[in-house]
Each structure stands twice: as structure tokens, then as C-alpha cells.
Amino acid sequence: MGKTHPIHPHELELKSYKKPYTCDGCKELGFGARYRCDKCDFDLHQDCMLATPIAHHDFFKNSTFKIFHQPPQKCSHYCQDCQRYCDACGKPVRGFSYHCEKEGWDLHPCCRNLPSNLPIKNIKFKLRDKVSSKCIWCKKRNLEGTVSGIRGWSYVSECKEYRFHVHCAMDMVIDGWRNGAFSSHDGNSLTALENLELPLLRQYLSGNRRRSSKFMKVMKIVFKTIVGILLGDPTVVLTGLLVDLVAK
């Protein structure tokens, strides 16, 4: 039995395909598992399909978010002044979003569900909305190329050695998709993730050979974890983590 959603007339079934798609809810990239209507070629992230009417988040104390199926806007037609941005990743809100009408906050459904804690290879990562150090990938503390005032969320390790923007992880996925990293001949989702070989990470590691092996192992696992969550398919992540951990 499928499930129904207010924005689509047919039942949607949970399916998994080893190729990317664009979610018809939030309009963001998805991968693997999704709720789908084959008849209409219609797909929803699991986070978009199962979004609750009301939500809260620890970073926004005393704020209440409501799910919107269209971006909130000030006027009756789209204009640049009405463009809204996710306060987690800094990217535009183009479809489904959680919006706080009182304070004006916006969150993509997948971003809203990012875990606050990630224990990976005995290293504890914590989701932060404010940081004092630079992202290991973009070498910046605040996001660049996004609307002014949105710093974006970051994952920071307890040891302070690893820190990266959620936005940067997602940018690498999008660039990889455009460059054909997901077009692997075997159609394997894990292979596709492996093809996103983090050019910025390689650049960071150059000249720092002594710790590059450990750093690469940790960051590959972190990358798979965040990407799987943001693409709406944690099952890909769990499989990838097991593969990596067994191989170490």
C-alpha cells in the first residue's frame, strides 16, 4: 500500500533506484530511496513526504516552524526580494520548507533533520550554528556565495581538528552530479559516492602527508554520512559506513 500526499493526486510508494533525482517537494537533489509515483514521474524525499505540520529546532529556541509547500513570499508574484534561503545550508528555498513566521527562519526538510551528534570512528562530531574556526574545505569561517547574514551550519569534531560546512558537502555532491560522478557503469550508489573524490580535500592534504591517511579515512566516512542524510537516503550511508569500517 502506498501513501498519499496533499500535493499529488496518486498514491506514492517507497522505492529505491541507484540514480539521482530532483525532489518534487523541496526541489533539491535526492538519491536512492524516495516516495514515487511512476505514472507521473513524481518523487519526494522521505523527509519531505513525512514532514510534520509543526516542528521545532534546538538552534531556534522558542521558535515554531510550520511546513510550507511553496516558499513564503511577500507579494503575489515571484521577485528577487521574495527569495528565501535555508538558514542551515544557505541555499535558496525553492519548494517545501519549514518556516517560522514570527522570526523569519527557513529550513529545508532534510536540513532540519540533520543529527545534532555524529560519532564516527571514535571521533565525536557536533552540529554547530556558530563557529570560530575555518572550514577545512573552503578555508572560510562563513559561507561565501550565499545571502549575507547566513553563516550556515557546520559539523565540528570534539578534538577541533575537523570542521566543515554542511553547505560545502552539498556543493561537492552537486558538482559531482554535473560532472558525471553519478553516471557509474555499474549503477552502484556507493561507487557513485566514491567517485566524488573531494578535490578540495585532496588540496587540503597536500603538504600535510603525516596525517593525511587518518584524515582521509575519517573525512570519507563523514562525507558519506552527511551526503546520505542531505540526499534523503540514510540507508546508503549505513551501508557505506559498514563497508568503510570493516575495511579498516
14/79 same-domain check: no
Choose between 97 and 79: higher pLDDT: 97
Q: What confidence score (pLDDT) does residue 35 get? A: 96
Number of domains in the chain: 3
| CATH number, residue 7 | 3.30.60
Closest CA to 153 of 237, 235, 90: 90
- Asked if the model's pLDDT at residue 75 lies above 80, the reply is no
- 245 pLDDT tier (thresholds 50, 70, 90): very low
82-129 residue pLDDT tens: 788 999 988 889 999 999 999 999 999 999 988 888 776 677 889 998
56/39 same-domain check: no
Mean pLDDT to the nearest integer, 166-172: 75
151/224 same-domain check: yes
Residues 6+ apart with CB under 8 A from 13: 2, 3, 35, 36, 37
Q: Mark which of 64, 86, 111 sits at the end of a domain.
A: 111
60/45 same-domain check: no
Predicted model pTM: 0.78
Order of all β-strands in the sheet with 117-120? 117-120, 123-128, 154-157, 163-165
Q: Give the CA distances from residue 64 to residues 33, 127, 246, in Å, rounded to whole numbers and listed in that order.
A: 29, 20, 42
**Cα separation, 215 vs 225, whole angstroms:** 15
- Asked if the model's pLDDT at residue 167 lies above 90, the reply is no
210-238 residue pLDDT tens: 555 666 677 677 766 776 776 676 555 54
126/218 same-domain check: yes
Sign, CA torsion 188/193/194/196: positive
176/220 same-domain check: yes
Q: Mark which of 111, 129, 153 sits at the end of a domain.
A: 111
Structural domain harbouring 132? 115-247
128/140 same-domain check: yes
